[in-house]
Structure 1
């Protein structure tokens, strides 16, 4: 719980009563490896904060291939926030790659925080902006770099993930085949 509060306080000030209210609305759950926190075609019902574990956003392309779009690890929010807020069905799956522990806020509780805590909306906007910037910074180089450079960038940006995420997901995230990734890893050792 303290990880969540520390994270939030980077984006604005809260008093003890506000922090206590946030804590009272968070519910810790366990999400087993391969389970979904939200699914494509369904309206996301919660905002999560990862205490332990790794998640991925994934979808199926028009050829039926599963594509890993984004990875999220500890001490980050995990949700399809745009569709959560709009009450619209998600276009991607949000899947646990490892057994995970997550603090969850239901839509009702999240809205109560927005309506009760003065300035909470500004904190949320800053968090969402930070998440979007991180996503762009992580994805942009993948378009212009060769496969080896993409992998080296990945292990530099995500040093703890390379050994915790299956190679097939890393390859998909990098936009290369698993065989290419295995060859790249062999050549750089």
Structure 2
């Protein structure tokens, strides 16, 4: 719980009383891998914070192909914050990739915090702005990179995730088939072998 409070304090001031109120309405939950946290075209009802584990955001193309947009690991919000705050349907799905320990704030609890903590809405807006910047930073470089460059960039950016994510999901994130990813891995130095988990 303290990691969550520390995370929130990056975006605004919280008094000890504010932190106590957040603790009171935040619940801890453990979920197995492949659990959907939110679905496309629906309004998120929970604000999820990853304590331990990996989640992913993904969508389906017009042809039905599943595409992973990005992964989210420990110490980050995994809910579509804008959709949650403004009660808008999301455009993507969120699910656990590994068994996860999460913290959750329900919509009713979130509204109570907004009523009792003067800086809450401003804090959350700062959090959203930072999250949008992170998304752009994750996605933009990939548009001009080769598949191999995207893979190496992933390993550099997420060194703790590479052995926790099934290969077919990593391939989807990079934008290649699983067999193409296997070829890329084989072409790299031997130390890269074994990256990723079995499907």
TM-score range with shorter-chain normalisation?
A: over 0.9
Structure-2 separation of matches of 1:94 and 1:58? 6
Query: Which residue of the partner structure matches residue 138 of structure 2?
Result: 138
Query: Which residue of the partner structure matches residue 116 of structure 2?
Result: 116
| Cα shift at 1:43 | 2.0
Query: Which residue of the partner structure matches residue 57 of structure 1?
Result: 57
TM-score by length of 2: 0.91
| Cα shift at 1:181 | 1.1
Structure-1 separation of matches of 2:116 and 2:131? 24
Query: Which residue of the partner structure matches residue 36 of structure 2?
Result: 36
| Cα shift at 1:153 | 0.6
Question: What RMSD in Å do the two structures reach over aligned CA positions?
Answer: 1.1
Residue-by-residue CA offset, 1:67-105 (whole Å, 9 max, x unaligned): 111211110011022222232332211110011011100
Query: Which residue of the partner structure matches residue 128 of structure 1?
Result: 128
Query: Which residue of the partner structure matches residue 150 of structure 1?
Result: 150
Whether contact under 8 Å (1:31, 1:37) holds in the other structure is: no
Structure 2 residue 9 is the aligned partner of structure 1 residue 9: yes
Q: Which runs of structure 1 show a deviation greater than 4 angstroms over 4 or more consecutive aligned residues?
A: none
Aligned residue-pair number: 189
- SS of the residue aligned with 1:180? helix
Query: Which residue of the partner structure matches residue 171 of structure 1?
Result: 171
Whether contact under 8 Å (2:48, 2:79) holds in the other structure is: yes
Whether contact under 8 Å (2:51, 2:101) holds in the other structure is: yes
TM-score by length of 1: 0.95
Structure-2 separation of matches of 1:17 and 1:105? 17
Query: Which residue of the partner structure matches residue 74 of structure 1?
Result: 74
| Cα shift at 1:12 | 2.0
Structure 1: where are the runs of 5+ without partners? none
Whether contact under 8 Å (2:171, 2:178) holds in the other structure is: yes
